[in-house]
Structure 1
Amino acid sequence: MPTFDLKEPIIYKTDYNVETAGQLDNKIREKYVQDQEKRMLLTEYPTVYVINDPIDKKESQYTVYVGETNDIQRRTLQHLDADPKKRDDFFNFKNSKNVSMYVIGHEHFNKSMTLDIENRLMQYLSSVPAVKHLNNRRHNDQNKYYDSTEFDALFDQIWKKLGRNNKRLFPA
């Protein structure tokens, strides 16, 4: 596998609820007030996100949803408003008290790359013992695209950085 000098992915962790969803863009801007590039990559470019809800107090098992979007605040609000009326998984996420979300951005993300990152995250998470339920099971495998040669190296960086946030959910 070729090696690339890729910038580190940006991972923003937030509570997942109606209150934080409505302020998501502002919260990201506040956190990255000194870094306009990171702000833009999380709020104005395609991102991948992982919603996770610990099933027990020890955080030994989780219900997880992986998605991708071009507008993280709009998509999060949609998940919390319309989706719970149609889907039990989003009803449960909305009504749980301990749900959080990781928003992942990178300067090389485009629609194809985020679909591939989403797919690989679902594949990896489906084999993690701590993941009791993985709710998004669609597959959108992409073929070649502009930066597809960087995919493996970038995914490795993302998984390792997520693992530094939560070793049980994203094990080495």
Structure 2
Amino acid sequence: MSVENAKKIMMEHFANTARRFGLSELYGYIYGLLFFEDEPLSLGEIAERTGYSLSHVSTALKLLENVGLVKRIKKPGDKKAYYTAIKNIREWRKEAYYKKIEEDIRQTRENLLRALKEIENDESEEAKKIRQRIEFALRRNAIAEKIINIFLKHEDEEILQALLECLEKKLNSKNP
């Protein structure tokens, strides 16, 4: 098998991943192209190599940059923007994925507390039911926050493996 065939296999993998997330395969092709490059590429170079238009590639790069998979780089003395892939998936997972979950958890907590405040003096049956649901959601939210903090603070696979084993043991003891 040649290096080029190996690259093609992975490019198709990235394209299929993009499709699974409801995106054009272009996103996967761009990421795959940048993933295998040692040096950053310009917008024009990426468009030329993928066969897509500058506008399509530009739009895709903006999204890939926003989700943290691609980084824009400026070279001294050059007005062009260059792009490189984030190749350390662990770094991406931590910075882009877990941070977004952490932000969602924080926003959820804030909104649950705001909703709870809105009904704090209401003693109607409906308010009591809503209060119970919100308090349950707050407890779940606190657990989710603790779990995501473990992922953010402990990249070590050994820690994550220990967490997984603990969870599996607990689940197995409930379902013998």
Could you tell me the TM-score, scaled by structure 1's length? Answer: 0.24
* Larger strand fraction of residues: 1
Task: Point out which structure has higher relative CO (alpha carbons under 8 A, 6+ apart).
Answer: 1
Larger radius of gyration: 2
Could you tell me the TM-score, scaled by structure 2's length? Answer: 0.24
* Larger helix fraction of residues: 2
